[in-house]
Amino acid sequence: MILKTEKIIKEWTDYNKHMNVAYYIHVFDIAADVMLDNFKMGGESAKKDNRTTFVAEMHTNYYQEVRLGEEVETHIAYVDHDKKRIHYKLSMFHKEKKYLAASNEVLSLYVDLSKRKVVEFDPDRLKIMDDFIKNNSSKFNPDKLVFSGKLKK
């Protein structure tokens, strides 16, 4: 499932004439926000409900460079959760050439911003995530997950 397409802009490139590592994370973060908004725990939720996610751990792999003017698509590769954490992996593909450019695996905590404390997911958010996982798990790739043992089921 494609979350977001981005065109590599000059500000994201470095002296090697490809996208700088920091901007891979930026592109992944933009795409993750789309997913989190769909799960009702992104920017809108932070403003309206004072609840959102904070990244606790991240593992990124870089496979092949992308350069100025090229477009990349960020896909959801995997999603799971426990009562307080969401575990997901995103994959970035070159839009035209279809190669895997990078992947980003994340473990995030659900946080009540009014208390700045980790809390359990609300039942409505659990249902949204569970429905998404149920409907899409056949497309997930659970291979080579770094954080697979971190969830407390």
Q: Where are the alpha helices (DSSP H) in the chain?
A: 21-38, 43-48, 123-136
pTM over 0.75: yes
* pLDDT, position 153: 79
Low-confidence ranges of the chain (pLDDT < 50): none
What is the tens place of the pLDDT at every residue in 59-101?
Answer: 999 999 999 999 999 999 999 999 999 999 999 999 999 999 9
* pLDDT, position 129: 97
Q: Where are the alpha helices (DSSP H) in 1-58?
A: 21-38, 43-48
- CA 103 to chain CA centroid, Å, is 10
